[in-house]
Amino acid sequence: MKNDDRDIELKNVSVKMRKATILEDINFYANHGEILAIIGGSGAGKTTCLRVLTAQIKPTEGEVYLAGYNVLKEKEKLEEILGYVPQLEEVSAYPEFSALKNAYFFGKMYDLPKEQIKSRATQVLQILGFETEETMKKPFRELSGGEKKRVSICIGLINNPKVLLLDEPTTGLDAHLRIEVLNYLRNLNKRLGVTICIVSHDLETADFCDRIVILDRGKVVVFGQPKEFLKNLPNDGRSVRVKFKYLTVENQKKIKKIKPIKYILSIGRNTLKIFPREGKYNLGQLIEELYRLDLEPQELTEIEATFADYFRLVYQGAFGKKKDIFDIDFE
Ligand SMILES: Nc1ncnc2c1ncn2[C@@H]1O[C@H](COP(=O)(O)OP(=O)(O)OP(=O)(O)O)[C@@H](O)[C@H]1O
Ligand SMILES: [Mg+2]
pLDDT tens per residue, range 256-288: 888 888 999 999 899 999 998 887 567 788 888
Distances (CA, A) of 17 to 24, 41, 50, 54, 279: 12, 20, 16, 18, 52
CB 10 within 8 A of CB 26: yes
Regarding whether 310 and 198 lie in a shared domain, the answer is no
Single residue among 157, 189, 224 that ends a domain in this structure: 224
pLDDT tens per residue, range 162-209: 999 999 999 888 888 899 999 999 999 999 999 999 999 999 999 999
Residue 199 CA, closest ligand 1 atom number: 22
pTM of the entire predicted model? 0.91
Q: Which of 48, 85, 57, 56 is nearest to 171 (CA)?
A: 85
Greater confidence, 327 or 313? 313
Q: How many domains does the chain have?
A: 2
**Whose alpha carbon is nearest atom 18 of ligand 1?**
45
Single residue among 160, 189, 224 that ends a domain in this structure: 224
Ligand 1 in contact with 213 (CB < 6 A)? no
Single residue among 195, 224, 253 that ends a domain in this structure: 224
Ligand 1 in contact with 47 (CB < 6 A)? yes
Regarding whether 91 and 198 lie in a shared domain, the answer is yes
* Host domain of residue 30: 6-224
| Whether pLDDT at 326 is above 90 | no
pLDDT tens per residue, range 122-146: 999 999 999 888 889 999 999 988 8
Greater confidence, 88 or 107? 107
Question: What is the rounded CA–CA span in Å between residue 267 and residue 165?
Answer: 32
Per-residue model confidence (pLDDT) at position 331? 41
pLDDT tens per residue, range 17-33: 998 999 999 999 999 99
